[in-house]
Amino acid sequence: MIEKQPTTVAEAAEALAGFAMDRGEIKIQLDNIPDEADIDKTLLEYEIQLLRIVFTGWALSFFMPDLRNRGELL
């Protein structure tokens, strides 16, 4: 069995920032919206991106209130 090395704060922060900033997943979902729909896809993309960033920070604060390195991670 391979022993997993602990994740550093920097690695965790990089992974969370990558999730929050990843637009590829958003673009795939936006491509599923028909062109005939009366939706500004550019505006929707930026709103979803902003929500992902806010949610990531909120999730750290809410789900990890007692984490020793929370300040560094935030």
pTM of the model: 0.69
Cα–Cα distance, 41 to 34 (Å, whole number): 10
Q: Any idea where the domains of the chain sit in the sequence?
A: 9-73
Residues 39-61 pLDDT 10s: 999 999 999 999 998 998 888 88
> Residue 1: what pLDDT?
64
Reply yes or no on whether the pLDDT at 7 is more than 70.
Answer: yes
Nearest residue to 53 via CA among 19, 13, 9? 19
Over the chain, what is the mean pLDDT?
84
Residue predicted with more confidence, 50 or 72:
50
By the 8 A CB rule, do 20 and 56 touch? yes
Residue predicted with more confidence, 33 or 70:
33
